[in-house]
Structure 1
Amino acid sequence: MATKGLSLLLAVFLVHLAGIYLYTRGFLLTRLSLPDITTCPDGECTLVPSHKRAVVLVIDALRFDFLSPHPPEPPSPYHHNVLVLPQELTASQPSRSFLFEMFSDPPTTTLQRLKGITTGSLPTFIDMGSNFGGSSITEDSFIGQLRAAGKKIAFMGDDTWTTVFPDSFEPNMTFPYDSFNVEDLHTVDEGVIEHLFPLLEDKAAGWDVLIGHFLGVDHVGHRVGPDHPTMKAKLTQMDDVLRRVVDKLDDDTLLILMGDHGMDRKGDHGGDGDLETSAALWVYSKGPQLVHPGASIPSFLLMTRVFPGATVEHRHIQQIDLAPTLSLALGLPIPFNNLGTVIPELFWHDKAGRDYTRALSLNAVQVKRYLDTYHDSASGAELDKAWGELERIWASIDFEFRTHAADVEAQWLAMKMYTRDALAVCRMLWAQFNLGLMVLGLTLLVTGTVAAALLYFKLRALEAGWQEWTLAARRWYLSSAVGGAFLGFVAYMTVSRYVKGLDLVESLLFGGAGMLSLVIIASSLPQFSGLRPSSLTSIPLPLILHAAAFASNSFTVWEDRVVTYLLITSIVPNILVGFTAPTARLRQRILGFSTLFAVCVRLMAMSTVCREEQQPFCHVTFFASSSLPSPPMPILALSIPIALALPWIMRRFLRISRSDRGTATLVLVGLLPAVLFLGSAFWVLEHWDSSEQFGPEWVGVLRSTRTWYARLAVGLVLFFGYALWWLVPLCLEISTESKQDEGKREVTVIGFANAFGAPYLVFWSLFLGLLYAATQLTGQVVLALVAVAIMAHLEVVDSVRDVRGLEAVFASGNPSAVLQADELRAPVMPLCFSEITPLAILAVHVFFTTGHQAVIPSIQWKTAFVLTPTLAYPISPLLVILNTFGPHFLVALAVPLLALWNVPPLPQPQADVKARVDAIRAGLSVMLYHGTLLLSSAVCAAWLRRHLMVWKIFAPRFMLAAVTVVVVDVAVLFGVGVGVGRVSERVSRLFAAMNPDKAKSS
């Protein structure tokens, strides 16, 4: 029977998956990468090198203000004016030393920034995902040009370089280190230092370019934030390294120090905030002067800006400008796909700037060649709108040699304008969309949402006859999916050439999922037309407001606050029922538990993280501060007591129905307290370890201890908790009493009234224990409040249903025939959509209050190392996914409880059938809610695809909605298929073995 119901949920899930796939294929396209390589055997497309060799040092996450002589006010004692050698040499040797701020295009992840630095090309939004599994760079690059010229490259540090350039470095001079172990602050840096200086000192080493990539600054930022003594110690170490490098540098070697990106106030990166896109660049020549002492570079060639919080302007460039600059400075051709512009300061070797003129002209010609090739490619039509203006600027460039200063400056201005306009056009171009695939995806999302809504009403109307209808519907669904896929294949063979990007897979998916959703709609329409009007009014206003909010960038930015008010609003109908309840007990229960739910929601809302657009009106409370990613002290003090108190609170709720017996006792008294304690203890030890409160000699002990705490917590849940629940799921105590005078035996079942709900709550609490270990301390407190809020809502819904049942009884005209003789118990009423709405919104609320936002920097990378001290696939990525989307899964997994809570298992088998179909309807409801949010975010993102904030706000929110729908759908399938299925099976077997007429509930 569970399989029958799961087929309905699975059909909706498959339509969601197909719609998401097609829409994202159209909305998040990757950039067209041209395979061409710049070649110039005669040397006409490059310059005479100014230096024979180069040392390129990358300090990961080196933000500009870490080097700036004029940092923001007030300066931080931990990261300002600590790494001071660059500013000292720039002040004392202004013709040999230059300090720049670089704009690093988002996404600000290491792999994408290395692509930009070496190729001069731009990333796309979807590229961000490849940062943790990057493939080799096949485009023309600075590294590739070095190899083509026969140069030898030495490398040490972040192994991302060897991943993207696997065969480019000299084997005997290559020393890669693991790049993603943010727990380790020193190994990579010490390894770079160990191999860097012997190569600098060995004059016979034979390298032409030496690359060293330090990771300590980035890891310190991720772990403790920039405002921490550890950051000062790390920057001091980098300053010492630089001084030693400069001391050993040859006169004919160019030194380049850079950051690949910046970091935000709490040390994270990945997004497009000002602090994340700000990277430092320092260029130093110990020998030849870079700028002629008597030269004056025109101001229109030197872009400047004021760093956030500072007061003095500084030199500002694009990070992709490094590709053409380094290539020409070392006598190499510019990479073919480059869109950067050469940096004037590295080519102003005489007063007239002749080398710069030559460099800029080579740069402009290369960009022109690239655009011409792109325009002639399959994607070239996308350039048509801007092509006329680009050609006009190109025609204005005079490449003849000029001596008059005004003519030369006009020449520089025209060439720079062409390269910068080309960059601006391509930045807009690669926010490109395939409208055909987007329309197909939206079509499936619309039909899928309508199908889920009609299926919800269908199941409500069918009631007892749902099993027979489901058997027939399952055959219809399978046949329609296969038939639709065949039609999709026919369409692919006939009309696919008219739809850009429509491949065979897309055609099959759209045909199969589209026909499936249409059959669901068609099979549900007849019954839908017979529904009473009151059934339609159960769709709540919060869903409409929530979905409409995605049309506004400001509402989307402040969704974490909006959701709080929607969540409180969603329980207002229950409160109104509480005021009019027919008995004092029901009034007290409804109003009391509603108040408890609202208090939990408001306490959860106190936990906040801020996205950049919310500043300065947002205050971080999830962490100790916006720059310290450690727990607040009250949370640190309360975490262990809350972990121990939560199982006791859950058992108190079960005690209301006397269902705190059997498995509930074993799990809530023994297993769960231990699991939650170990989960909290892990993060307490992690805080002590990160802050080094016991000194560095304790680091190894704390790391080992907390790792085994987490492993024990997860192991107890996976290998003991779920096994125990599967074998003995019921929370009942059964006793028998023989009555000798009557010759009969009386069976007493304690926990009878909640025989379905209590064991499912235990099943749900096991996943709570699993998620607890992967959640930081403030998030753990939020999860505890979520558990209390869910149980309070269950009691409210149970009481509201009693009120509705009593009203139905008294409205029948013959209440005495309906009510049982020994107790005032009304018939169990069906679920309403408005009863599921609070839990659907609660899932979104929990996502925000556990320290997340719809932006990349809010990802909590620390959780990757909960079970292992180093990066381990697939465990580390799975832990990050669990931390990020586990809250959605947790709340969605609780939704079937609304159908099972305090539902007595008699009469059998009708009670079992009703419990399952109500659980399926509850799951379908939450899938419908989140599916509607997905549809709204997709429509708004498509409609506003040319909005200035599309990649900053609307695209991330759509991606969050898409993943949320998948997570929620899987949670519902898991909960109904495993949780409800197992509980119903065991309850049916138990009561089938008993004589129901002789059973006495307690």
Structure 2
Amino acid sequence: MDQPDLPDQQEGMPSTADLRMDQQQRYFRYMDERNEYRNRKVSASHGQYIKVMFLFAVLQIIGIAFFTKGFLLSRQVLPNQSTCLDQQNSQTCHQFSPFKKTVILLIDALRFDFVIPVEDQAADPYYHNNFPILYEQFANHPQNSLLLKFIADPPTTTLQRLKGLTTGSLPTFVDAGSNFDGDTIDEDNWVSQLHSFGKNVAFVGDDTWTALFSPFLHPNMTFPFPSLNVWDLHSVDNGVIEHLYPMIKDQGTEWDVLIGHFLGVDHCGHRYGPRHYAMKQKLDQMNSIIGDVIDSIDEDTLLVVFGDHGMDFTGNHGGESKDELEAALFMYSKRDYFGRLSNDHYNISNLGNDFRAVNQIDLVPTFSMMMGLPVPFNNLGSPIEEAFIGPNSKNQLELAKSNFLTCQQIHNYRQASDQLSSDEEINAMFNELSSDWDILQKKSPDQLTLIAFNAKCYEYQALSLDKCKSLWATFDNVCIIIGIGIVAISLGLLIIYTKLVPLVVITQLNSQFITSSAAMTMVHTLLTVSFTLIFKPENLSMLWSVLLGVSLGIINGILAPIIDRYSIPWLFSQVKENLIQNGWTYFALALILMHSLIFTSNSFVIWEDKIVAFWLITFGFCAVFKSFKLKDSRKRLLGVYHSVVFVLLTRLTSTIRLCREEQGSKCVSNFETTWWSVGLIYVFAFLLPKMIEKFFDISQSYQGAAQLWVSKGLRGLMLLIALMWTLEYIENSDYFNSKIQVPLETFKVTRLTIARIVMGISLIASNFGWSLGPLCIKIDLGSNQSGRQVLRTANIIGYGNVYGSAYFLFVINILCAVLLVNKPLGIVSLALLINQILTLLELIDILKIRTNLVSVVTMGLLAYLHFFSTGHQATLQAIHWDTGFIITETIVFPLTHISIILDTLGPFIIVCLCISLMCLWKIPPTSKAISLISKIVENSSTLIIYQLCLTLSTLIMTNHFRRHLMVWKIFAPRFMLNGIILIAMNVILTLVTVGFATGRVIKRWNQVFGN
């Protein structure tokens, strides 16, 4: 009997295949949930790190702000207005004006040696002996003209000089920051006095005048032109010429004072320096214009021509070198009016060093009294003798009247000032002068008596000026101490956070830091605001009390969770265990200490560029010896090779120099735009991508997107930049313009178009493409025979550097933007910087110092080395303002500002971006993403610690040397540079390096490989 077929399974029971399928589904669901949980955890931890870094950034910025408030105070400006009667109803103005009209022509940056004859052996054909008319008139018509050396007070920036030239007051260093944001002047000046006396003031030229004096200029006779486009040599000057001549020649024009401000000479200096054929053309043009004006004015018109400052050998200004301070002053009248002192005062030998000089503020009382105006209330200048002693040079009585009126005005100013009124020595001198003047008015004094009286007046005025100069920066010690204290505490907290507390604990404490800081900030802000409302301290306004409360809240908010878990002695006990790793750490600490100590001497600050290069070379030699100790022969050879290359690149970079004035003949600048420097851009357009390719090949990462980014993208953009600078060189070359008629407008449009394309691609298009997650790997599919089965295999080429290779593409994007705004030799320097960074990354991997302090310090030193080799120094005049107009013809926010920032801080920006590569370079994907982020935050914070040490040192030393002769020339600019660098580092590291780029790379690869 046939048996029925038995079923394989009971009815209703799942099959084995179904069970296996269900098990797989549950497993994949579990894995998805686990991955999602891990990704959320990584994102949360990453976000907390960003917030804590932001808290530290806020704390440091507040500290710098307090110090700046205390150190860079503006002088006291009194709102008083001078009148022609003082408090005793005594006459304080000249009763008549010798001239009915005045033409004032300001030739910006008219250096004194531009206008005097210079012997052939000392002359430069571009800027000497091309503007002879002023000296010719002075020499041939002594009673009609006056030529003097015109000494500016630093800072030698246009807006500050205009304030001094119209108010007679001293500028302050902090005013230099307002050179691009002038407000209507709020102190007494001769422009407002002209308006008060019903005089019509016509103006044409630099729009800085309208920013300062708009209410006092005649609206129908005011023609301002944009002033800050230093690449434009002609628009402002052509505009002045267009309106100047018609107003002078039209006798019916109802102006009393006509002001024209030419900018071509200044812009030519900024763009090319004084040694350029364009400077000769500009000076020839100015010479012709002055000649035409002299021919056009009548006997009742006074002509005044002067420069507001000079320029240094690079064509820039802002500091206090001799060439920046010495401008020219020329006065002319067709009527016999001017006198002369002894001819010894007008000696032009030795490039005019013996020529008679007056302070620029001396023009204020001189011009005011020549126009019959009261001397502006805040004036500290003295009357120019030659303008009052008459054409026979013997009218000492008229000079005495002018001198006493000026002394009386200075006395009124001093008595109205709380800081100056109690000076018994100055007050006694004025009382004696008043008595002498009363005696002189009662009798007819002889010449000797008048000469003696005038000498005493000048002595009083000079002593008053010297004493005011000693008080021109009044320091707020409370704010200075608060600022230094906050920065110092921030440094201590950051060291504890980064180096002493274990990373595992920090990850747990981050959320507590954020919530605790928020709560503490509210409490401390309420306390400081209440304190301010109750006690009303003079140096703590409501805004500053809030900032103080915020800083105290952040300090307590970060410190409290740490102290709650660890004791202070325990934290100190961790210094040697966690901070000191090996001999490299001691070397790094020594570098930080030495770099901080160089700010104790002005000589060290001056030669910081050479010192930094020496330290980097020292690191390279140490790396050579460390490499010899490696057991692996291959690594030993590679370590020595990379160390030697690092030393050679450092030495090559240090040959690119833009010297500061204090370095004198011991430094020769070579930072110029020449045919060979432009040619080097083409060379490096091929070399740099090839160098990067070879470093990628070490880890087999030159795959996929790397080829597009490096070979095509970087090389293509560098070639466009090279083409842009080629057009710029041809456009401004003396040779090409003399041999070929260059189509200037076409060149300019092409150059701007190229610059905009490069900037658009590097900052927008390429970063958009990078955000989509380009890969630098290649999947190599293959098969293996295993018995009867053929196994499919997939080999991921570039797997060992998936993080670093992808991240470096982002660095290339920003690098291209920085290259665009740098000058040719700056581009060469940045190309060498990239090679040095990649070489250093290989050394870090070979020597196993990824998280060692020395790696971060070396990165920081590289930033400083290339800051100097890209043509910068810690001086105002070394700022490349002209780079703001590489992509725009006029000032356009924020494009102009971004260009200047990228040019000035480019090396620091690149180094900040590359800090992540110390942990990401040449490592495979890891499942410990949070730990990797923590290490990157540690290195980023360590770089900030290094910069904080330098900043804290400059704050302390700048305050210590606040009465040093070089404080405003050396120490103050250096402190401001360190403050700006620290702020920029915090912004870049927090928001870009850790916040955007690192997070995006790690999270993306964590999703693909890290689970």
TM-score (norm 1): 0.90
1:743 Cα offset (Å): 7.7
Cα 1:46–1:661, aligned 2, differ >3 Å: closer, same or farther? same
Task: Please name the residue that 2:194 is paired with.
Answer: 146
Instruction: Output one character per residue of 1:316-336: Cα deviation in whole Å (capped at 9) or x when no partner.
Output: 000011111011001111111
Read off the aligned partner of 1:937 and give its amino acid letter: T
Distance (Å, rounded) in 2 between the aligned partners of 1:481 and 1:679:
48
Asked if structure 2 preserves the Cα contact closer than 8 Å seen for 1:115 and 1:121, the reply is yes
Task: Please name the residue that 1:106 is paired with.
Answer: 154
Q: How does 1:333-482 map to 2 (within 5 A)?
A: 333-349=374-390, 351-375=394-418, 380=419, 387-397=423-433, 398-400=436-438, 401=440, 403-458=445-500, 461-462=502-503, 464-482=504-522
Task: Please name the residue that 1:879 is paired with.
Answer: 899
Task: Please name the residue that 2:951 is paired with.
Answer: 934
Task: Please name the residue that 2:818 is paired with.
Answer: 771
Cα 1:947–1:221, aligned 2, differ >3 Å: closer, same or farther? same
1:305 Cα offset (Å): 8.8
Select the residue among 244, 248, 256 that pairs with 2:296.
Answer: 248
Cα 1:876–1:435, aligned 2, differ >3 Å: closer, same or farther? same
SS in 2 for 1:176: strand
Q: How does 1:778-857 map to 2 (within 5 A)?
A: 778-801=825-848, 831-857=851-877
Distance (Å, rounded) in 2 between the aligned partners of 1:914 and 1:162:
58
Asked if structure 2 preserves the Cα contact closer than 8 Å seen for 1:444 and 1:510, the reply is no
Cα 1:867–1:208, aligned 2, differ >3 Å: closer, same or farther? same
Structure 1's consecutive aligned runs of 4 or more residues displaced over 6 angstroms after TM superposition are 302-307
Task: Please name the residue that 1:810 is paired with.
Answer: none
Read off the aligned partner of 2:478 and give its amino acid letter: G
Select the residue among 979, 989, 999 that pairs with 2:997.
Answer: 979
Cα 1:396–1:855, aligned 2, differ >3 Å: closer, same or farther? same
Read off the aligned partner of 1:648 and give its amino acid letter: K
Task: Please name the residue that 1:949 is paired with.
Answer: 966
Task: Please name the residue that 1:552 is paired with.
Answer: 601
SS in 2 for 1:74: coil
Asked if structure 2 preserves the Cα contact closer than 8 Å seen for 1:360 and 1:416, the reply is yes
Distance (Å, rounded) in 2 between the aligned partners of 1:78 and 1:706:
26
Distance (Å, rounded) in 2 between the aligned partners of 1:555 and 1:170:
52
Instruction: Output one character per residue of 1:772-816: Cα deviation in whole Å (capped at 9) or x when no partner.
Output: 101000000000000000000000000111xxxxxxxxxxxxxxx
Instruction: Output one character per residue of 1:505-536: Cα deviation in whole Å (capped at 9) or x when no partner.
Output: 22222232234235534545636345372544
Asked if structure 2 preserves the Cα contact closer than 8 Å seen for 1:456 and 1:925, the reply is yes
Distance (Å, rounded) in 1 between the aligned partners of 2:550 and 2:235:
52
Instruction: Output one character per residue of 1:579-621: Cα deviation in whole Å (capped at 9) or x when no partner.
Output: 1101111111211111111111111111111111111211001
Report the more deviating stretch, 555-564 or 511-520: 511-520
Select the residue among 347, 368, 379 that pairs with 1:327.
Answer: 368
Cα 1:565–1:484, aligned 2, differ >3 Å: closer, same or farther? farther
Cα 1:343–1:451, aligned 2, differ >3 Å: closer, same or farther? same
Select the residue among 639, 645, 670 that pairs with 1:621.
Answer: 670
Task: Please name the residue that 1:815 is paired with.
Answer: none
Cα 1:571–1:516, aligned 2, differ >3 Å: closer, same or farther? farther
Select the residue among 901, 915, 923 that pairs with 2:932.
Answer: 915
Select the residue among 63, 66, 82 that pairs with 1:38.
Answer: 82
1:751 Cα offset (Å): 1.2
Distance (Å, rounded) in 2 between the aligned partners of 1:71 and 1:316:
21
Distance (Å, rounded) in 2 between the aligned partners of 1:482 and 1:892:
32
Report the more deviating stretch, 641-650 or 687-696: 687-696
Report the more deviating stretch, 729-738 or 542-551: 729-738
SS in 2 for 1:91: helix
Instruction: Output one character per residue of 1:241-286: Cα deviation in whole Å (capped at 9) or x when no partner.
Output: 1111111110011111111111111211111111011110011110
Q: When the two structures are aligned, how many residues end up with a matched partner?
A: 938
Distance (Å, rounded) in 2 between the aligned partners of 1:305 and 1:836:
57
Task: Please name the residue that 2:17 is paired with.
Answer: none
Distance (Å, rounded) in 2 between the aligned partners of 1:365 and 1:237:
42
1:27 Cα offset (Å): 0.6
Distance (Å, rounded) in 2 between the aligned partners of 1:691 and 1:115:
37
Report the more deviating stretch, 58-67 or 534-543: 534-543
Distance (Å, rounded) in 2 between the aligned partners of 1:423 and 1:936:
33
Distance (Å, rounded) in 2 between the aligned partners of 1:708 and 1:783:
23
Task: Please name the residue that 1:644 is paired with.
Answer: 686
Distance (Å, rounded) in 1 between the aligned partners of 2:226 and 2:427:
47
Cα 1:868–1:532, aligned 2, differ >3 Å: closer, same or farther? closer
SS in 1 for 2:771: helix
Distance (Å, rounded) in 2 between the aligned partners of 1:896 and 1:581:
25
Cα root mean square deviation, aligned = 2.2
Q: How does 1:6-405 map to 2 (within 5 A)?
A: 6-40=50-84, 44-47=91-94, 48-70=96-118, 74-291=122-339, 297=341, 310=351, 313-349=354-390, 351-375=394-418, 380=419, 387-397=423-433, 398-400=436-438, 401=440, 403-405=445-447
1:725 Cα offset (Å): 0.8
Read off the aligned partner of 2:1008 and give its amino acid letter: L
Read off the aligned partner of 2:871 and give its amino acid letter: G
Distance (Å, rounded) in 1 between the aligned partners of 2:273 and 2:1010:
61
SS in 1 for 2:171: coil
Q: How does 1:498-647 map to 2 (within 5 A)?
A: 500-521=538-559, 523-524=561-562, 526=566, 528-531=571-574, 533-537=576-580, 538=585, 539-623=588-672, 631-647=673-689
Instruction: Output one character per residue of 1:28-48: Cα deviation in whole Å (capped at 9) or x when no partner.
Output: 001221111111268921112
1:227 Cα offset (Å): 1.9
1:477 Cα offset (Å): 3.1
Task: Please name the residue that 2:524 is paired with.
Answer: 484
Read off the aligned partner of 1:644 and give its amino acid letter: F
SS in 2 for 1:167: helix
Distance (Å, rounded) in 2 between the aligned partners of 1:312 and 1:884:
35
1:56 Cα offset (Å): 0.6
TM-score (norm 2): 0.90
SS in 1 for 2:1009: helix
| Identical positions, percent | 34
Task: Please name the residue that 2:35 is paired with.
Answer: none
Larger radius of gyration: 2
Read off the aligned partner of 2:449 and give its amino acid letter: D
Distance (Å, rounded) in 2 between the aligned partners of 1:884 and 1:718:
17
Distance (Å, rounded) in 2 between the aligned partners of 1:493 and 1:742:
86
Select the residue among 917, 932, 935 that pairs with 1:897.
Answer: 917
SS in 1 for 2:355: strand
Read off the aligned partner of 1:582 and give its amino acid letter: K
Read off the aligned partner of 1:110 and give its amino acid letter: T
Cα 1:848–1:524, aligned 2, differ >3 Å: closer, same or farther? farther
Report the more deviating stretch, 888-897 or 740-749: 740-749
Instruction: Output one character per residue of 1:465-514: Cα deviation in whole Å (capped at 9) or x when no partner.
Output: 542232333323333333332332233234552xx421122222223223
Task: Please name the residue that 1:820 is paired with.
Answer: none
* Structure 2 residue runs without a partner (length 5+): 1-44
Cα 1:396–1:657, aligned 2, differ >3 Å: closer, same or farther? same
Report the more deviating stretch, 186-195 or 969-978: 186-195
1:432 Cα offset (Å): 1.6
Distance (Å, rounded) in 2 between the aligned partners of 1:567 and 1:12:
29
Instruction: Output one character per residue of 1:188-208: Cα deviation in whole Å (capped at 9) or x when no partner.
Output: 222211211111211111211
